[in-house]
Amino acid sequence: MGQKRAFDEIWGHGGIDDPRAEFAALSDWLRETPSGELERRLQAAESTFRQLGITFAVYGEQEASERIIPFDLVPRIFLADEWARLSEGLIQRVQAINAFIRDIYGQREILKAGILPPELIFQNDQFRTEVAGIRPPHGISAHICGIDLVRTGPDEFFVLEDNARTPSGVSYMLENREAMLRLCPELFREFRVAAVDSYPDMLHETMRSVAPPGRESKPLCVVLTPGHFNSAYYEHSFLADSMGVELVEPADLIVDDDIVWMRTIAGLERVDVIYRRVDDDFLDPLVFRPDSMLGVPGIMAAYRAGNVTLINAPGNGIADDKAIYSYMPEIVRFYTGHDAKLPNVETYRCREPEARKYVLDNMGELVVKLVDGSGGYGMLVGPASTKDEIAEFRKAVEAEPNRYIAQPTLALSTIPTLTEKGLAPRHVDFRPFVLTGGSGKPQVVPGGLTRVALREGSLVVNSSQGGGTKDSFVLMPDAQQSQSQNSAGESQSQSQG
Amino acid sequence: MLSRTASSLYWLGRYVERADFTARLVEATIRLDALSARPAGEAAWQSALSVTYNEEAFASTGDNLTQQNVAHFLMFDKDHPGSVLRCLEAARNNARVVRTALTREAWTAINRAWLLFSNRASPGGSSSTLNLVESVKAELRGFEGAIFRMMRNEAVWLTRLGGAIERADNTARLIDVKYHLLLPEGERVGGVVDRDQWTTILQTVSAVTAYRWLYSEGLKPDLVIDLLMSRPELPRSLAACVEESVDLLSQLGKRTGLQGEADRMARARLARISKTRSREVVVSGLHEYLQAFIRENAMLDQAIARQFRFV
């Protein structure tokens, strides 16, 4: 927020003329490409996104109810060794998340060991008694995790949030790369970038690997969407399409005798694995919200009977709840036996009197969040708020301290971004995607979703609040050249020439 | 394939065809209007409304029968389900629902056609209307091209089946309306107005050149009827549409094993139409024949919905 200049991932603490040594080529490219040319390419990208219909719906707005998320051409780049360290941390964290969910709905060893206060689980809305005692195939519940990271320096990465329910955004990772390959091919000659386009295959393989017992040989996998008015519908259809599986709506499924079927032109076909993009609350009106029109009655019974695999498993919200988040370092240590390789952002739990006092005394410098809020709503960024806003939040925290946590305002890293006034640093965060299948070993796709706060100084990157996206390059270690996006592109042009 | 997907693909095909037909009807009517002296121009727009069964709906808007108003109604009216805009919207919604069954090219063509209408509220004058029609047609040709390069499976056949059923309906209504309602009282058959109107019909189904190739005798109403009803060479003729639906149903049957009532109805219709002589139909009652054809077409549509379990 101006008091200290944030770390810029390309320029370091220098500037356009004195970038981090590894990124001199990118800085040169930015300097040498005429701004009109960058502008033209940006427009080409946005027009492609609009034609493809890569849009998200904004609820509550009648006109322009379909918007594209702004895209920025300047990529974020991870060095190979940075990425290797990050991956280790992500794998460890996702292993712990799966172990935690398995334990909480099973033996609850972590409570017996006194690591977590039991009321944090049992009084938590995200704890689903309906799934207690169910063991999903191979004991995996969080098949697809999106771990939100922020960075404050060359080696300082922090986990800001875990997403173990239905993390979205992976379609942007893939579409942004397609756009960059088309619009800035010269960057892929300069940098050897690991390919991300294997993600759909990895996802499909992950789905198949957790098929219900007895259905492993040729499981039928589908993606379940609430419907084409959902804000993430593009992503749902994109994923189904790129895996070559059916995209079903709730009305396409029926449950008979604890087996899930889909209605096809040839009659009913048995469904084995469902990547559902419908929230727990709406999944089954017989078990969760009875007024849900989006649900499939009986699907939970089929799940409990072990006849269908749900991805991600219901009840995962207990692992990515913001109140649980503050215990993640302890959770990681408990299940893996090691300290967390990726640290948390320091978190004050307002439920604890001492922390609460600190938060109330220092609200102007902290970020205060509702434990069950998301999308940038229910959140106070102290340094960017007015006295009245702070006073209002103070009242809310005093009334229901259990619902709030607070964190210091971090100097989030920036990346040069095209703005109306030319290139300027803008704050970013990062969501890599981690897949866990039947083997229990998480896989990290070399890439992810970089979100950028387009307003000067803003720290809020959510697309619903004026955020945009960038491509995220992961550079390959020197030894492996065969898989690079670059060489794949060249071999194609050779065969055409 | 999901039943819902099948139904959406079929309706995607129908709406694309309907949008295309309506756009071409507007285009041809502008030409007819330009050729005729008032009040013949009004009659031109009147008949465009009857071809699309929209006389009452237009009357209820309270607007005068002018090119501006009718073109707006047929192209842009948000409250009128048959407008090109609404057809494209419906086509796009269906396409969105079945994104996974379409290629990127097929989807973007539909989306682009729909985007042509965003930020525009009226067709403007003749030339801007014609430009818009031109763009709509180009995008929809792009869609058809993309469909022909998709995997050859149920998705393509169902979309095309929807197109064939809709096309049959449109052509039948076009002949019916033009033959009976179009000729103003007192005009001589074969006179100038008459001739312009028959050209308009041919234009609406993109058949001006085809007519010249197939018939060497100059423009004759009976021959236009013959072309539009019985010539399998013309893709928009009744005979061609009937034949196409038989072929598509049989391909669908081979692949899915679903054969039944719809196939039987379509084949019986083909057998009948190939024995029908257009000259005899004109003598014995063209209007009755066409009305029966339209009814049959609707029954076939219902049979298709049952056979493929549209919900």
- pLDDT digits 0-9 by tens, A178-206: 999 999 999 999 999 999 999 999 999 99
Residue of B nearest to A253 (CA): B2
Amino acid identity of A241? D
Q: What pLDDT was estimated at residue A496?
A: 40
Q: What pLDDT was estimated at residue A146?
A: 96
Instruction: Flag whether pLDDT at B4 surpasses 80.
Output: yes
> A265–B2: do the CB atoms touch at under 8 Å?
yes
Give Cβ neighbours of residue A305 (< 8 Å, ≥ 6 apart): A258
Q: Which two tokens stand for residue A312?
A: 């991600």
Q: pLDDT higher for B239 or A16?
A: B239
Instruction: Flag whether pLDDT at A87 surpasses 60.
Output: yes
Domain boundaries, chain A: 213-307, 346-409
Q: Among B41-50, B201-210, B256-265, B268-277, where is mean pLDDT lowest?
A: B41-50
Q: What pLDDT was estimated at residue A494?
A: 41
Q: What pLDDT was estimated at residue A485?
A: 53
* Contact between A284 and A299 (Cβ < 8 Å): yes
CATH topology classification for A346-409 = Dna Ligase; domain 1 (3.30.1490)
Task: Say which DSSP state A304 is in.
Answer: H
CB < 8 Å to A249, chain B: 4
Mean pLDDT on A416-435? 93
Q: pLDDT higher for A482 or A374?
A: A374
- A156 sits in the region (left: phi over 0; alpha: psi -120 to 50; else beta) called beta
pLDDT in tens, A375-396: 566 788 888 888 998 998 899 9
Q: Which two tokens stand for residue B26?
A: 């507007």
CB < 8 Å to B97, chain A: 228
Q: What pLDDT was estimated at residue B65?
A: 87
**In angstroms, what separates the C-alpha of B233 from chain A's closest C-alpha?**
32
Distance of CA A439 to the CA centre of its chain: 22
Interface check B31 vs A, CB under 8 A: no
Give percent above pLDDT 90 in chain B: 53
DSSP-assigned letters across all residues of A66-112: EEEPPEEEEEEEE-HHHHHHHHHHHHHHHHHHHHHHHHHTTT-HHHH
* Contact between A209 and A439 (Cβ < 8 Å): yes
The Cα angle at residue A79 between residues A479 and A319, in degrees rounded to 5: 110
Among A46, A233, A265, most B C-beta atoms within 10 A, so best to mutate, is: A265
The Cα angle at residue A433 between residues A465 and A10, in degrees rounded to 5: 65
Compute how many other C-beta atoms are within 10 angstroms of the C-beta atom of residue A482: 8
Q: Which two tokens stand for residue A130?
A: 């309906």
Q: Report d(CA A259, CA A250) in Å as an integer.
A: 15
> A246–B2: do the CB atoms touch at under 8 Å?
yes
Interface check B154 vs A, CB under 8 A: yes
Q: What pLDDT was estimated at residue A175?
A: 92
Partners of A246 in the β-ladder:
A222
Nearest to B2 among A228, A241, A264 (CB): A264
> B256–A265: do the CB atoms touch at under 8 Å?
yes
Q: What is the mean pLDDT of chain A?
A: 89
CB < 8 Å to A233, chain B: 96
* Contact between A192 and A476 (Cβ < 8 Å): yes
Cis peptide before A70 (omega within 30 of 0): no
Q: Report d(CA A351, CA A120) in Å as an integer.
A: 10
Nearest to B99 among A237, A245, A249 (CB): A237
Instruction: Flag whether pLDDT at A148 surpasses 50.
Output: yes
Give percent above pLDDT 70 in chain A: 92
Interface check B305 vs A, CB under 8 A: no
Interface check A249 vs B, CB under 8 A: yes
Give Cβ neighbours of residue A450 (< 8 Å, ≥ 6 apart): A76, A415, A428, A429, A430, A469, A470, A471, A472
Q: Which residue has 């990050």 as its token pair?
A: A86
Q: What does pTM read for this prediction? A: 0.85
**In angstroms, what separates the C-alpha of B104 from chain A's closest C-alpha?**
7
CB < 8 Å to B96, chain A: 53, 228, 233, 237
Compute how many other C-beta atoms are within 10 angstroms of the C-beta atom of residue A459: 21
Q: Report d(CA A4, CA B123) in Å as an integer.
A: 56
Residue B301's Cβ-side half-sphere holds a number of Cα atoms within 13 Å equal to 18
Instruction: Flag whether pLDDT at A2 surpasses 70.
Output: no
Interface check B97 vs A, CB under 8 A: yes
Interface check A262 vs B, CB under 8 A: yes
Mean pLDDT on A257-266? 95
Coil, helix or strand at residue B120: coil
Interface check A263 vs B, CB under 8 A: yes
* CATH-assigned architecture of domain A213-307: 3-Layer(aba) Sandwich (3.40)
Give Cβ neighbours of residue B70 (< 8 Å, ≥ 6 apart): B29, B45, B48, B49, B58
Q: What pLDDT was estimated at residue A100?
A: 98
Q: What pLDDT was estimated at residue B197?
A: 78
Backbone torsions φ then ψ of A279, nearest 5 degrees = -65, 155
Output the CA–CA distances (angstroms, integers) from residue A401 to A355, A368, A424, B201, in the order listed. Answer: 10, 11, 39, 75
> A265–B111: do the CB atoms touch at under 8 Å?
no
Q: Which residue has 């948000």 as its token pair?
A: B78
Q: pLDDT higher for B185 or A317?
A: A317
Mean pLDDT on A240-251? 93
* Contact between A195 and A262 (Cβ < 8 Å): no
Mean pLDDT on A412-416? 94
Backbone Cα Rg of chain A? 23
pLDDT in tens, B137-169: 999 999 999 999 999 899 999 999 999 999 999
Q: Which two tokens stand for residue B197?
A: 């109107």
Coil, helix or strand at residue B118: coil
CB < 8 Å to A226, chain B: none
Q: What pLDDT was estimated at residue A62?
A: 45
Q: Which two tokens stand for residue B77?
A: 């009216």
Q: pLDDT higher for B224 or B305?
A: B305
Q: What pLDDT was estimated at residue B37?
A: 65
Interface check B108 vs A, CB under 8 A: yes
Q: What pLDDT was estimated at residue B195?
A: 75
Q: Report d(CA B16, CA B63) in Å as an integer.
A: 27
Mean pLDDT on B182-200? 65
Q: What pLDDT was estimated at residue A268?
A: 94
Instruction: Flag whether pLDDT at A217 surpasses 90.
Output: yes
Positive or negative, the Cα torsion across B26, B28, B32, B35? positive
Give Cβ neighbours of residue B152 (< 8 Å, ≥ 6 apart): none
Give percent above pLDDT 70 in chain B: 93
CB < 8 Å to A237, chain B: 96, 99-100
Q: Report d(CA B206, CA A35) in Å as an integer.
A: 47
Give Cβ neighbours of residue A82 (< 8 Å, ≥ 6 apart): A155
Amino acid identity of A321? D
Nearest to B309 among A50, A233, A265 (CB): A265
CB < 8 Å to B311, chain A: 251, 263
The string over A120-153, giving b where at least 16 C-beta atoms fall within 10 Å of a residue's C-beta and e elsewhere, is bbeebebbbebbeebebbbebbbbbbbbbbbbee
Distance of CA A365 to the CA centre of its chain: 27
Cis peptide before B131 (omega within 30 of 0): no
pLDDT bucket at B38, cuts 50 / 70 / 90: low
Q: What pLDDT was estimated at residue B11?
A: 97
Q: Report d(CA A160, CA A158) in Å as an integer.
A: 6
Mean pLDDT on A475-483? 66
Coil, helix or strand at residue B228: helix
CB < 8 Å to B3, chain A: 252, 263-265
Coil, helix or strand at residue A267: strand
Residue A98's Cβ-side half-sphere holds a number of Cα atoms within 13 Å equal to 28
Question: Element (H or E) spanning B43, and its range?
Answer: helix B40-51
Complex ipTM above 0.90? no
Give percent above pLDDT 90 in chain A: 65
Mean pLDDT on B120-129? 79
Number of residues assigned to chain A: 497
CB < 8 Å to A240, chain B: 100
Q: Which residue has 């033996």 as its token pair?
A: A107
Q: Is A213-307's fold the same as A346-409's?
A: no
Task: Say which DSSP state A253 is in.
Answer: E
* Contact between A49 and A179 (Cβ < 8 Å): yes
Interface check A241 vs B, CB under 8 A: yes
Instruction: Flag whether pLDDT at A489 surpasses 50.
Output: no
pLDDT in tens, B244-303: 999 999 999 998 888 999 999 999 999 999 999 988 888 888 889 999 999 999 999 999
**In angstroms, what separates the C-alpha of A55 from chain B's closest C-alpha?**
12
Q: Report d(CA A128, CA A280) in Å as an integer.
A: 9
Output the CA–CA distances (angstroms, integers) from residue B246 to A182, B230, B239, B270, B300, in the order listed. Answer: 43, 16, 11, 8, 11
Q: How would you class B305 by CB atoms within 10 Å of its CB: exposed for 0-12, middle for 13-18, buried for 19 or more?
A: middle
Q: What pLDDT was estimated at residue B23?
A: 94
Q: Are strands A259-264 and A366-370 parallel, antiparallel or unpaired?
A: unpaired
Instruction: Flag whether pLDDT at A493 surpasses 50.
Output: no
**In angstroms, what separates the C-alpha of A347 from chain B's closest C-alpha?**
43
Q: Are strands A221-224 and A156-163 parallel, antiparallel or unpaired?
A: unpaired
Residue of A nearest to B252 (CA): A265
Task: Say which DSSP state B260 is in.
Answer: S
Q: Are strands A253-256 and A348-349 parallel, antiparallel or unpaired?
A: unpaired
Output the CA–CA distances (angstroms, integers) from residue A44 to A30, A182, A423, B138, in the order listed. Answer: 18, 10, 19, 21
Nearest one of B305, B307, B62 to B162, comparing CA atoms: B305
Q: Report d(CA B71, CA B123) in Å as an integer.
A: 7
Residue of A nearest to B4 (CA): A252
pLDDT in tens, A445-468: 999 999 999 988 888 787 767 789
